[in-house]
Amino acid sequence: MDATIGAGGHAEKILRASDPDGRLLGLDADPFALEIATGRLSEFGARVVLQNSNFENLERVASAQGFVPVDGIVFDLGLSSMQLRDAARGFSFAHEGSLDMRFNPATDTTAADLVNHLRERELADLIYEYGEERASRRIARAIVAARPIRTAVQLAHVIERAVGRHGRIHPATRTFQALRIEVNRELDVLQKTLEQIPDLLAPNGRVVVISFHSLEDRIVKNFLRNEKSLRVLTKHPIRPTNEETLANPRSRSAKLRAAERVDE
């Protein structure tokens, strides 16, 4: 199972490696990602089942599709480069898009709703907790003073004016991360989903999780370590090589952790 099918890159490799009869169930919360993956994986025919669903429904979808017990589950968390480039989604402060940030456009709250309606204190706490941003109070004050904020670029400017620019990382990066986590309830969903995994895996079945920031990685690390029916295969997380980060700069923060189901 590929819980985050995206453009289908991992799925294609898994299907080739499990030729000729390996089957794959792929999920994505984003209906646009699913369209692209459907095209890319069409040559595999009935070996692939794709579903537009949040991975918090993993257990239900996997049972309904006859995929339990499963030999392997992979999660490649966060955003695809496709989503980041799509201005209309508002994930990136490099594009003049509306401030949306929902993985699935059918869910309720957008980043613009949070930015324009939360109380200053709530906004500051959110940016501190999910962005691990020390300048959270200053940023929240500047946001409230600049309301209404409609676009990603506008928000990035407000933050840059409030805290200035130091170093290579844009000063809005952490705030954008915080808003995205809250809009998609990412940490909550991840925790609840990991808890479903032991019951889904076949004996010796493996789970692999690639995470992109420390809040996510901590949840994965603690879960794998504390779950008695899993044996951790990565004492230290696997990091990208230098060649990989050169070829794909977004991989620089990636950490891969894996575990195997053991028989009780």
Q: Closest approach of Cβ 203 to ligand SAM, in Å?
A: 26
**Residue 260: enclosing H or E segment and its boundaries?**
strand 255-261
Q: Closest approach of Cβ 90 to ligand SAM, in Å?
A: 14
Phi, psi angles (nearest 5°) of residue 23: -115, 150
89 binds ligand SAM (CB under 6 A): no
Six-digit token string for 60: 């239900």
Residue 37 or 139 with smaller CB distance to ligand SAM: 37
9 binds ligand SAM (CB under 6 A): yes
10 binds ligand SAM (CB under 6 A): yes
Question: How many residues of this chain interact with ligand SAM, rule: CB under 6 A?
Answer: 19
Q: Closest approach of Cβ 81 to ligand SAM, in Å?
A: 8
115 binds ligand SAM (CB under 6 A): no
Q: 174: Cβ–Cβ under 8 A, 6 or more apart, which residues? A: 127, 131, 132, 133
Please give the full DSSP string across 45-111, using - where no structure is assigned.
Answer: GGGEEEEE--GGGHHHHHHHTT--SEEEEEEE-S--HHHHH-GGG---TTS--BS---SSTTSS--H
Q: 127: Cβ–Cβ under 8 A, 6 or more apart, which residues? A: 133, 136, 139, 140, 174, 175, 178
What residues does 28 pair with on adjacent strands? 52
| Segment interacting with ligand SAM (CB under 6 A) among 76-84, 132-140, 147-155, 256-264 | 76-84
Q: Closest approach of Cβ 137 to ligand SAM, in Å?
A: 29
CA distance 122 to 127: 9
Q: Which of 7, 143, 149, 152 binds ligand SAM (CB under 6 A)?
A: 7
Are β-strands 230-232 and 201-211 bridged in parallel, bridged antiparallel, or unpaired?
unpaired
Q: Per-residue contact track with ligand SAM, 184 to 223, x per CB under 6 A?
A: -----x----------------------------------
Q: Closest approach of Cβ 75 to ligand SAM, in Å?
A: 8
Q: Which of residues 18-37 bind ligand SAM (CB under 6 A)?
A: 27-30, 33
- Under the rule (CB under 6 A), what is the footprint of ligand SAM? 4, 6-10, 27-30, 33, 54-55, 76, 78-80, 103, 189
